[in-house]
Structure 1
Amino acid sequence: MLTNARSRNVKSYMKALEPTVDDSTGDQFMKNLLKHDRTNVEALNSALCYLSYRPAPELLEFAQELAQDALHYGVEIFIMVDDNNFNISAVNVSPNVRLLQIPREESSRHNYQKAISSGGIACTWLYITSWDKALFYFCALNRNYSFVWFLEEDVFIPNVQAFRSLHELYANTSDLIVPRHGLNLDGSDGLWRWAMASGKFIPPWACSMANAVGFSRRMLIAMDQFVQWFGEVPFHEFFFNTLAVQLNFTIVTPTELSTIEYAKVFYYEDVRKQPNNMWHPIKDFPKGKLWRKSLINETLNHNHTFTLTEVEMLCHESQNMRNIEQHLEDLFIRFEINKSNLSSNVRRLWRQRFSDLAEECQKRNVSQEIVSFLIKLVDHIYKLPERM
């Protein structure tokens, strides 16, 4: 429950947010946030922070692989360790990976608390977690990074190139990178936890799974200012998206994050078909390590080449294909395996090419299966920002 004083403050904030004749943007608080220079989001010095209770050996090993590869493109690797009884100084890890610990009291004293708490007595243990501490660290303590990724420890990345490709493709042009972007325009409670947004924001609200998220510096600044104003971190699954919507920030939902789920069982065959995706939850760390080795062996032993010409020929050879469905499935798998090898510029160019091909195929009355396939490739090669 909010105190009476807090309730009055929130009501005043919400009232100020309502449009007036002289000020269509309303809220002075949001206007103050917008005063900051928010045009330069180029990710020159970036960071990735794993959120962990106690890092498993497999997580530490892969973090070191990421850190070694990331030296080539300017991303530093961190692990926020939630358990302050865990002796991080005893961990034998590369100096390129930094393990962090922050006392719960320090995080709480600076209002970084309740980021993943959905309320209720049963959730008191969630009042301060590695989420709160990592937000505190990168929003307030260490502002040296223009883009920061937060990944929960059970987010599985199949290989270092998958992360590099995703980062280079979107971090320079985005404020918030999330798996989804669900909008609630009218403030109805619905089936999700929308009631938790009431008293913090007026509609529109927005939400997403938040197991893998990327933030620009201006997004981190805005979150810090909101947290200091409100006194705690609103529930993260609506806080990030809603704040970005209300500040008109750039939100992207890459297809590489479409396999971030709440509770779904994934198999090696799923990962093999989309090795550039991030996967959640994969809590069996030894199995994840085994999958990475299997993917490397498969790459060495099988030819999964993919060319743009193969896609371009779809508009001309569709009538000669006996099994279009199987052909398109095979083509999509090879596309997914190879797309991380393409530069960001090429991927943006191919998006337009795929879109043009879909239009051309429609004019030629090519089968709807092929047209739908081309439309699918458009977003899978490069996803445009979300719209309100």
Structure 2
Amino acid sequence: MASLLLSHFMNVEARNSALCYLSYRPAAELLEFAQQLAEDAIQYGVEIFIMVDDNNFNVSAINASSNVRLLQISREKCLRHNYHKAINTGGTWQYITSWDKALLYFCALNQNYSFVWFLEEDVFIPSVQAFRSLHELYSNTTDLIVPRHELNLIGSDGLWLWIMASGKFLPPWACSMANAVGFSRRMLIAMDQFVQWLGEVPFHEFFFNTLAVQLNFTIVTPTELNTIEYAKVFFYKDIREQPNNMWHPIKDFPKGKKWRTSLVNETSQHNNTFDLTNLEMLCHGNQTMTSIKQHLKDLFVRFEISKSNFSSNVRRLWRQRFSDLAEECQKRNVSKEIISFVIKLADHAYKLPEPPVPELVRIKSANHIRLEREINEMKQAIYQFSSNSSAVTELRKQATDLIKKLTVEIRQEIVEEEKLRKFN
């Protein structure tokens, strides 16, 4: 099925990148930081937007710089373009939020950006430098940047919200928290094409990862996003130890502003150098075990504070140096704790893309091939229509039913092939 889509995503060209905050009504502190981002981002080609969900909110009354663009899109326009239900977890109501509006805008209405970030308004970025470092490190080589990448290889729908993926995607499925996400232009194009055949936006926490997996796109889960949580309390101590991370949820905007000011004052006092001397000493066994844990923590914090000052190329070189050191430590039979720490530093310097998912079914049954062909034909038929007529609604229903049938077939094939492997 991926082959039906892939030909549309080659040689995609666009200009600058963009960052879009998703907000119901933007707070003054959000507007202020968005302006700071916009001023800094001029030098590296990122434009700043805020999608305002409340269409009764008077954006013209906001004293915002021309560098920050406030957007509003009507509910009717979203429905007309099939953009609804992106964060709906059940029911038939055509649920529309700033997620649907931002996806519509950057997938279909404004295609001038090579890479686009979506950030919910309660995602805290400690500094403009933290965002710049993350963007420059990954945006040129990645299709999807997400906090996590959890696979559901056989499409098991008994846990979490996986039942919502049934009839929309064949296995494998994948999911992530999605409060801070980055998309390449070809990923945005692929999402729009998927929305047009389905008639709605699938639930965002499995939509992005699953589509990227099935198209064999590049997925990265940077360590800077590992503090994107569903519900967790963070303190200033956490932020100052990892000042280049994004943090969610932080809904106290005045507190976030205060933290940024404190970080600026502290940063001016930091020694932003980092070398391997101390780590090499550990690898050569020149430390007692009682001092190692605190020593490792101090090294980690020092690297986390320093790394945004390194260029993208230097970050990649640090990964290689850490990887080489981990290999040397293994040869010397150094403790697993130290080796794990060095490998952790390698990921914090530069996170490699997620490995591709191997083909689940090597020998397809005749029924599998028939269902796959019928699904592709059904989708092609849907793409021929320019409006949501009753005929399109019926075609979508038939395609959904076929996907469910093929999912069952794939699960059975996976079980049979696993039995055969064990037998052999």
TM above 0.5, yes or no, is yes
In structure 2, give the amino acid aligned to 1:33.
L
Deviations 1:88-144 (A, max 9, x none): 1111111110000001111111100000001137xx4x8100000000000110000
Contact 2:157 2:166 in 1 (8 A): no
What is the aligned counterpart of 2:308 among 329, 340, 346? 340
**Structure 1 alignment gaps of length 5 or more:** 1-26
Report the Cα offset of residue 368 of structure 1.
Answer: 2.5
Matched, 1:326 2:294: yes
Report the Cα offset of residue 305 of structure 1.
Answer: 3.8
Matched, 1:355 2:323: yes
The DSSP-based 3-state class of the residue aligned with 2:268 is helix
Matched, 1:111 2:79: no
Contact 1:318 1:324 in 2 (8 A): no
What is the aligned counterpart of 2:6 among 34, 37, 41? 34
- Aligned residue number for residue 254 of structure 1: 222
Matches within 5 A, 1:1-388: 27=1, 30-38=2-10, 45-120=16-91, 124=93, 127-303=95-271, 305-316=273-284, 318-319=286-287, 323-387=291-355, 388=357
Contact 2:12 2:185 in 1 (8 A): no
**Structure 2 alignment gaps of length 5 or more:** 358-424
Deviations 1:226-280 (A, max 9, x none): 1111100010000111111111111110010000011111111111110100000
Mapped partners of 1:39, 1:347: distance in 2:
27
Percentage of identical aligned residues: 80
The DSSP-based 3-state class of the residue aligned with 1:71 is helix
- The higher radius of gyration belongs to 2
Contact 2:9 2:190 in 1 (8 A): no
Q: How many residues align?
A: 356
Contact 1:318 1:367 in 2 (8 A): no
Mapped partners of 1:386, 1:261: distance in 2:
20
Report the Cα offset of residue 297 of structure 1.
Answer: 1.4
The DSSP-based 3-state class of the residue aligned with 1:80 is strand
Distance change in 2, residues 1:167/1:222 (3 Å): same
Distance change in 2, residues 1:118/1:321 (3 Å): closer
Mapped partners of 1:190, 1:100: distance in 2:
39
Report the Cα offset of residue 372 of structure 1.
Answer: 1.4
The DSSP-based 3-state class of the residue aligned with 1:301 is coil
Contact 1:262 1:281 in 2 (8 A): yes
The DSSP-based 3-state class of the residue aligned with 2:77 is helix
Report the Cα offset of residue 376 of structure 1.
Answer: 0.7
What TM-score, normalized to structure 2?
A: 0.81
- Larger mean CA deviation between 318-327 and 202-211 belongs to 318-327
Deviations 1:127-166 (A, max 9, x none): 1000000000001100000100000000000000111011
